[in-house]
Structure 1
Amino acid sequence: MQDSVFNTCSQLTSVTLPETLVSIGSAVFQRCSSLPALDIPASVISIGVSAFESCSKLTAIVVPEGVTILNSKVFNGCTSLTSVSLPDSLTIIGASAFTDCTALASITIPELVYSIGLNAFQRSGLTSVVVPESVTWIGGQAFYECGNLVSVTLSSNLSAINEHTFFKCKSLTSITIPEKVTSILTFAFGGCNSLTSVTIPANVTSLAANAFANSANISTIIFEGDTAPTTVTNSFAYVAKQGTLYAPAGSTGYAELKAQGLTIKDW
């Protein structure tokens, strides 16, 4: 199906696609704002960039088996989308794939997915998410301002928490940072006001500016490393001034964090 063939057909309410269809091009149904449902044939193996972007009445979608890449902005702005079924064949969730899907409360990420792109679920309605072990990369702002997100399980194979990944996830009550993570970037957990404690694994060597800034209710911070990670001023800016940092007895390098107003104790 050619790119943009139904683009901005704002009165379109029903489409039947042929069972022999292999590809849905870029922006094919973009801004079809009256389309409530669409059955994608099982023969489809490719769905283009922005294919369903701003289909604001679309409520449910089943992506067929055989699709390996969910391209960027494919469901961006589908504000009524409540149900998404992704195929086991999927390996990549592209940038902004589900940005502003504000009614989407849950999604199952398939076990072969290894990359979740920038802004992938930004401002979506997700309440919980499990990132499978296959995932090695989550792009910056992937869960930015997911205000309903309470629970996250991260892949143990992540090496970094990128910038603004969970920024302003104000309902997030706890997070387990995987042991292989070596860097936590700017505002990764900024503005997570429901967090009360956080544990930094021993392998973290870099803690960026404002990594936990404005997560004002964090009162307990546990560092597992014998040597403090490289930190930038204000990595814990505006965290509760009565916060306590626990580090291994005899560990070194935590003076910068003490200077940010945290009490340091051995654990």
Structure 2
Amino acid sequence: MKNILLLATVVLAFASCSKSDDDNNLPSSDYKLSADGLTLVQWTNSTTTTLDMQADNKLQKVNTIGENAFKGHKKLQTITFPDNLKEIGANAFEGASLSGTVTFNTNATVTFGKEAFKSSGIRVVKLPKTAELSNSIFEQCSNLTEVTFSSVKKIGENAFYQTALTEVNLDNTGLTELAGAGFSLCSNLTKITLPTTLQSIGKLSFFGCSKLQTMIINAEKVPTLVDKSAFHSSTPNIYVPSNLVDNYKAANVWNEYKDHIFPKQ
């Protein structure tokens, strides 16, 4: 009798664990995976509002979000990416809502395809490490007010074009290149801090940033300013290391703004 009771207890416990595991998993009809289970090819459930990929036994193994995978998903508000995410494809979240929380493992290193979040409703994001924020990654994300950066070498063309950012801090990110129109038409941007590693600022980088008042450049050498269109429509006060003030004022293109260049405190 004792043996029967023990066996029944074990069976019930196993069934309970299996049920618990199943409860953590979303229906496989909600999505399409690659044959090896590592790429999320398409999210097929258009009614999904909240998605925690890390909590799902299959989705937590995904390391790539395919091109257009969530494109146009107007109801998807909140997403938590799997810890081992390595790549988000082009246009993956273009036009999606994302008005809730977007959560990355900030210790991961992720590659982004162009226009990955273009025209989405994303508001706030803490980014993982990446070599490059791709062209137009957040273009026309008109609700995007805050971005926290980990490490990034290059910000691509139109990366933050026409967003609602108010202040940007790129210090200690390792950024070397800010490509053309990177922050163009960010009409609410008032302050930006650029790192010691900065080497170049592209054309139209701050075009139309009519409220930009303060730019702090911590670069150890005068970075290349491609042309004067970078500050078209308004010129901020530019604060640089005191030992480089004269170098900036004498440098090509920078000399156009010599009355706006000051030693940083």
Q: Give the TM-score normalised by structure 2.
A: 0.75
Task: Assess if the C-alpha contact under 8 Å between 1:75 and 1:97 holds in 2.
Answer: yes
Task: Assess if the C-alpha contact under 8 Å between 1:93 and 1:113 holds in 2.
Answer: no
Q: 1:250 to 1:148 in 2, by over 3 A?
A: same
Matched, 1:248 2:241: yes
Aligned to 1:69: 64
* AA aligned opposite 2:160: F
Aligned to 2:10: none
User: C-alpha distance in 1, partners of 2:27/2:100?
Assistant: 28
Q: In structure 2, which of residues 131, 143, 147 is the aligned counterpart of residue 148 of structure 1? A: 143
Alignment of 1:95-134 (within 5 A): 95-110=90-105, 111-132=107-128, 134=129
User: C-alpha distance in 1, partners of 2:188/2:259?
Assistant: 19
Task: Assess if the C-alpha contact under 8 Å between 2:94 and 2:119 holds in 1.
Answer: yes
**Residue 89 of structure 1, CA deviation:** 2.7
Q: Which runs of 5+ in 2 are unaligned?
A: 1-25, 54-58
Q: Which runs of 5+ in 1 are unaligned?
A: 1-14, 27-42
Aligned to 1:203: 197
* Structure 1 residues 113-139: Cα deviation after superposition (integer angstroms, max 9, x where no partner): 42122111111111110012x333321
User: C-alpha distance in 1, partners of 2:114/2:71?
Assistant: 12
Aligned to 2:166: 173
Q: 1:203 to 1:85 in 2, by over 3 A?
A: closer
**Residue 101 of structure 1, CA deviation:** 0.6
Aligned to 1:24: 33
**Residue 103 of structure 1, CA deviation:** 4.7
Matched, 1:239 2:234: yes
User: C-alpha distance in 2, partners of 1:153/1:192?
Assistant: 16
Aligned to 1:192: 186
Task: Assess if the C-alpha contact under 8 Å between 1:258 and 1:264 holds in 2.
Answer: no
Task: Assess if the C-alpha contact under 8 Å between 2:248 and 2:255 holds in 1.
Answer: no
* Structure 1 residues 61-87: Cα deviation after superposition (integer angstroms, max 9, x where no partner): 443111111111100111121132322
Q: In structure 2, which of residues 80, 83, 101 is the aligned counterpart of residue 85 of structure 1? A: 80
Q: Give the TM-score normalised by structure 1.
A: 0.75
Task: Assess if the C-alpha contact under 8 Å between 2:79 and 2:98 holds in 1.
Answer: no
Q: Find the residue that maps to 2:254 and give its secondary structure.
A: helix
Q: Find the residue that maps to 2:206 and give its secondary structure.
A: coil
Task: Assess if the C-alpha contact under 8 Å between 1:183 and 1:206 holds in 2.
Answer: yes
Aligned to 2:43: 52
User: C-alpha distance in 2, partners of 1:62/1:44?
Assistant: 17
* AA aligned opposite 1:214: G
Q: How many residues align?
A: 227
Aligned to 1:215: 209
Q: 1:230 to 1:84 in 2, by over 3 A?
A: same
User: C-alpha distance in 2, partners of 1:137/1:128?
Assistant: 19
**Residue 112 of structure 1, CA deviation:** 2.7
Name the structure where strand makes up a greater proportion of residues: 2
Extract structure 1 runs of 4+ deviating beyond 6 A.
Answer: none
Matched, 1:264 2:261: yes
Q: 1:46 to 1:196 in 2, by over 3 A?
A: closer
Q: Which of these two proteins has the greater Rg computed from alpha carbons?
A: 2
Task: Assess if the C-alpha contact under 8 Å between 2:248 and 2:261 holds in 1.
Answer: no
Aligned to 1:225: 219
